[in-house]
Amino acid sequence: MAGRGGASLLDVVLAIALLALASTPLWAKAVFGAPTVFAVVQGQSMEPILHSGDLVFIIPKKPEDIRVGDIVVYRTYGAYVIHRVVYVYKDGGSYCFVTWGDNRETNKVPDFGDPARCRPVVFTDPYTGERVEASGVPYSSIVGVAVAVRGYVVKLPYIGSVTLVLR
């Protein structure tokens, strides 16, 4: 509890978090080897790995370096989406990435409606073993890949909630 004129523990934690966020572009390039941007998760499609309000670090990657299992941010219908890559293929020489949310309860049907999508392909779902048809996201729509260390996504839990409230 803050005394008269003193800062509370919450004030100190928020100040440290803001300082870390403000300085991120300075150290992130040195640590991750690429310019880093942030994505704020909104929705339940990536639970239990990512929750609404989590702040995720995103770095650019060449298309040939994006793999099944990577979490990518892409633009579709004027919005940003964060999902896991489940299949990679080429359409007319360009890389395409089929992506789904980890929470299969809220993300059962692949999106065929976006005209910017690649042609549909049939492949084996790596999680269920079922044959499915889905259209991929073209590399030109990919913003970047979530930074992960030994398979764990680097995130600041719920820090981005403030931006969701302000929308």
pLDDT at 95: 96
Which residues lie across from 145 on neighbouring strands? 59, 72
**Can you give the residue range of the structural domain that contains 135?**
34-161
Task: Compute the distance between CA of residue 35 and CA of residue 145 in angstroms, rounded to an integer.
Answer: 12
Residue at 1 is within a domain: no
Interval 42-87: pLDDT, tens = 888 888 999 998 988 898 999 999 999 999 999 887 788 999 999 9
Q: For residue 62, give the nearest of 52, 72, 54 by alpha carbon.
A: 72
Inside any domain, residue 6: no
pTM, rounded to two decimals: 0.75
What's the structural domain count of the chain? Answer: 1
Residue 23 covered by a domain: no
CATH code of the domain containing 140: 2.10.109.10
| Residue predicted with more confidence, 20 or 157 | 157
Q: Is residue 29 in some structural domain?
A: no
Is the pLDDT at 2 greater than 60, yes or no?
no
